[in-house]
């Protein structure tokens, strides 16, 4: 994003919004029925012809580093100084303003934004009892997904093993890639035993097998694991480039899973990509359960990159009351309807 030669005079507003899940969304951490988020809208009084741009500030309660009683005050203050918000150190606020300003001043046109191609994604299978999970797996396979990501760690481990073994008996690794996400459900004590149980299933990777904040334990697991380990929650928070490099080098995982809203915005995600590529570590991006506002911003950012593996952007159909958008799914890809319309957001309770 490049600001224009005329000095910008930016004004911003914000509002809260509650997204309603279509089903009981379960991870090893919590059961969710709603997801709180915030929107901002920004315009440049020096260039009114640009109109207004919307960004999402997707606070993730219980997970975001900035989840505290002062968050709305921080967001209101950021709206008073939008350019400073880009480097305010609050990850979700940085993400929201980066997204809005990229939209306001025009990010690069890509084949994806022109509707010429899609971005391949994995099929996300949420936790549930074993019968519900089996049904969800079948739905994703019938929809044409060749890469599944299964949430594990929330029901009995033997039931989860049974489901994974049944899928693998039916589909070889050449036919179906399986990623699993433990969301920190294993303990350092039982982790290696469970990873050894999972190894014969030829999994692509396991995300965050133990809770974040245990870098030495995680490094030891990454070094010994028979299943490639991906860092996810470990990356939450705003870090400098040096801090990002040091963390990645210290733990040395096989992959990074980047949630821009949680890991320092797009700038923070770029730092991690640089750190990963220095060490030959793979990466993919995923949403932090944003609405289509945030999901579109991540997809547009990815469309400017050379990506080689499916991304984690299959969350747009989770909500009853998502914001109508140009995003749609086609053949296990997320696509953009060129010229598609966004829903009217003027009626939301905007605050300055």
Looking at residue 29, what is its pLDDT? Answer: 66
Looking at residue 32, what is its pLDDT? Answer: 79
User: Whose structure tokens read 């609050």?
Assistant: 90
Distance, in Å, from the CA atom of 277 to the CA atom of 2, rounded to the nearest integer, reads 25
Mean pLDDT, all residues of the chain = 92
Token readout for 301 is 């950012």
Residue 79 pLDDT > 80: yes
pLDDT, tens digit, 9 for 90 and up, residues 323-341 = 999 999 998 999 999 989 9
Residue of 230 and 25 predicted with greater confidence = 230
Distance, in Å, from the CA atom of 160 to the CA atom of 253, rounded to the nearest integer, reads 24
End-to-end Cα, the chain, rounded Å: 25
Looking at residue 262, what is its pLDDT? Answer: 94
**Catalytic-labelled residue, pool 35, 140, 149, 151:** 151
Token readout for 308 is 């080689």
Looking at residue 59, what is its pLDDT? Answer: 86
Q: Is 259 a catalytic residue?
A: yes
Q: Is 151 a catalytic residue?
A: yes
| Closest to 207 measured CA to CA, from 225, 186, 180 | 180
pLDDT, tens digit, 9 for 90 and up, residues 83-93 = 999 999 999 99
Distance, in Å, from the CA atom of 39 to the CA atom of 26, rounded to the nearest integer, reads 25
Domains of the chain: 10-105 (3.30.390.10), 119-336 (3.20.20.120)
Residue 4 pLDDT > 60: no
Distance, in Å, from the CA atom of 93 to the CA atom of 82, rounded to the nearest integer, reads 10
DSSP secondary structure letter of residue 219:
H
287, 293 contact by CB (below 8 A): no
């Amino acid at each position: 994003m490049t600001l224009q030669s005329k000095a910008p005079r930016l004004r911003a507003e914000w509002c809260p919004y509650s997204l309603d899940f279509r089903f009981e969304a379960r991870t090893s951490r919590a059961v969710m029925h709603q997801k709180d988020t915030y929107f901002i809208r920004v315009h440049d009084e020096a260039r009114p012809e640009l109109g207004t741009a919307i960004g999402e500030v997707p606070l993730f309660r219980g997970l975001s580093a900035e989840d505290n009683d002062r968050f709305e005050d921080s967001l209101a203050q950021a709206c008073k100084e939008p350019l400073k918000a880009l480097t305010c150190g609050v990850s979700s606020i940085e993400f929201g303003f980066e997204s809005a300003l990229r939209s306001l001043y025009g990010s690069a046109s890509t084949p994806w934004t022109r509707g010429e191609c899609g971005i391949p994604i994995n099929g996300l299978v949420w936790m549930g009892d074993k019968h519900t999970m089996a049904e969800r797996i079948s739905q994703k396979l019938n929809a044409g997904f060749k890469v599944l990501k299964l949430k594990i760690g929330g029901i009995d481990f033997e039931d989860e093993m049974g489901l994974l073994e049944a899928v693998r008996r039916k589909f070889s690794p050449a036919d179906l890639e399986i990623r699993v996400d433990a969301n920190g459900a294993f303990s350092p004590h039982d982790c290696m035993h469970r990873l050894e149980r999972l190894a014969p299933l030829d999994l692509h990777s396991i995300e965050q097998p133990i809770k974040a904040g245990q870098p030495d334990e995680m490094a030891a697991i990454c070094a010994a694991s028979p299943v490639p380990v991906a860092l996810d929650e470990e990356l939450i928070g705003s870090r400098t480039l040096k801090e990002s490099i040091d963390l990645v080098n210290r733990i040395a995982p096989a992959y990074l899973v980047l949630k821009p809203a949680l890991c320092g915005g797009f700038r923070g995600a770029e730092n991690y990509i640089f750190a990963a590529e220095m060490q030959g570590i793979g990466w993919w991006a995923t949403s932090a359960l944003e609405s289509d506002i945030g999901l579109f911003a991540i997809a547009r950012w990815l469309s400017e990159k050379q990506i080689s593996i499916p991304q984690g952007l299959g969350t747009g159909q989770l909500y009853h009351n998502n914001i109508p958008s140009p995003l749609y799914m086609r053949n296990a890809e997320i696509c953009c309807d060129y010229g598609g319309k966004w829903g009217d957001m003027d009626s939301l309770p905007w605050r300055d």
